[in-house]
């Protein structure tokens, strides 16, 4: 990923993450499942972008995987790439414990997001 010179730094200090459930065709495939929250049969994708809108990570998986579980793929995909990252902006759904395990939280945002 190359950020333009006007960005000031080669890596972001703030990241934004969100997800979208998208329908699939009738054929669907093995990962075409139902997202009960969005009422969509298909797949779910998580995108991580910086404040310029540049994409830093994309993860696609079955729609029935909960957000707090699916976001780990984004963390793993970009780990170590963004040493300046200090803050991640996300919906509350990402802050729930993964797999419903009480007391387990997302990794600290510093150096763990990218």
Residue 3 within any structural domain of the chain: no
Averaged pLDDT, 17-46: 82
Q: Is residue 80 part of a domain?
A: yes
In-domain check, residue 113: no
Q: Using CA atoms in the order 40, 45, 48, 54, what is the torsion angle rounded to 10 degrees?
A: -100
Return the pLDDT at 9.
85
The answer to whether residue 43 is domain-embedded is yes
In a domain, 2, yes or no: no
Say if residues 100 and 107 touch (Cβ distance below 8 Å): no
**pLDDT at site 113:** 40
Domain count, the chain: 1
The reply to whether 106 falls in a domain is: no
- The set of residues, in sequence order, having a beta carbon less than 8 Å from that of 49 and lying 6+ positions away, is 15, 16, 17, 55, 56
The pTM of the full predicted model, rounded to 2 decimals, is 0.71
Range of the domain at 39: 9-100
pLDDT average, residue stretch 57-84: 84
Q: Indicate whether 27 belongs to any domain.
A: yes
């Amino acid at each position: 990923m190359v950020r333009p010179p006007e960005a000031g730094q080669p890596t972001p200090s703030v990241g934004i993450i969100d997800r979208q459930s998208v329908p699939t065709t009738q054929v669907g495939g093995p990962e075409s499942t139902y997202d009960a929250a969005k009422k969509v049969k298909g797949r779910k994708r998580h995108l991580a972008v910086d404040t310029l809108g540049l994409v830093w990570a994309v993860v696609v998986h079955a729609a029935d995987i909960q957000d707090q579980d699916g976001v780990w793929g984004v963390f793993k995909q970009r780990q170590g790439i963004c040493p300046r990252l200090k803050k991640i902006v996300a919906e509350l759904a990402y802050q729930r414990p993964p797999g419903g395990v009480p007391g387990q939280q997302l990794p600290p945002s510093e150096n763990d997001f990218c």
